[in-house]
């Protein structure tokens, strides 16, 4: 997650309250998704950005996870995401995201 996006996420968490912010990711692989998820939950693991040492504990999902997919209008999901989903290792992404949520998310419902 680049430094500008880290700054935006931090500002939103401060403005709206971390319990009211959900981060939706769309990275193409589990490892990249996990790194971004860890950044918004446990702090920037690269120690380079505004979230270094900041444990926001935000709720975070990937767009291809079933919980998120179910929230979309099916036609919109088909048009915007389904092509990407066909080439992703969705199981790997789900495993990575679930692991991060179970370790670091403070606001799961």
List, in sequence order, every beta strand (DSSP E) within the chain: 22-25, 59-62
Q: How many other CB atoms are found less than 10 A from the CB of residue 9?
A: 24
Alpha-carbon distance of 75 to 61, in angstroms, equals 20
Half-sphere exposure of 85 (CA within 13 A, CB side): 15
Write the pLDDT tens digit of every residue in 29-81. Answer: 999 999 999 999 999 999 999 999 999 999 999 999 999 999 999 999 999 99
Q: What is the mean pLDDT of the chain?
A: 95
pLDDT, mean of residues 7-34: 96
Instruction: Give the confidence band of 108 by pLDDT, cuts at 50, 70, 90.
Output: confident
pTM (global) more than 0.85: yes
Q: How far apart are the first and last CA of the chain?
A: 25
């Amino acid at each position: 997650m680049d430094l500008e996006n880290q700054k935006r996420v931090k500002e939103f968490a401060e403005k709206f309250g971390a319990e009211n912010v959900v981060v939706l990711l769309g990275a193409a692989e589990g490892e990249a998704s996990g790194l971004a998820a860890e950044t918004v939950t446990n702090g920037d693991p690269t120690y380079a950005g505004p979230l270094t040492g900041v444990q926001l504990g935000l709720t975070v999902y990937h767009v291809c996870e079933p919980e998120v997919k179910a929230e979309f209008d099916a036609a919109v999901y088909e048009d915007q995401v389904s092509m990407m989903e066909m080439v992703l290792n969705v199981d790997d992404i789900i495993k990575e995201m679930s692991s991060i949520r179970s370790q670091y998310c403070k606001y799961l419902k």
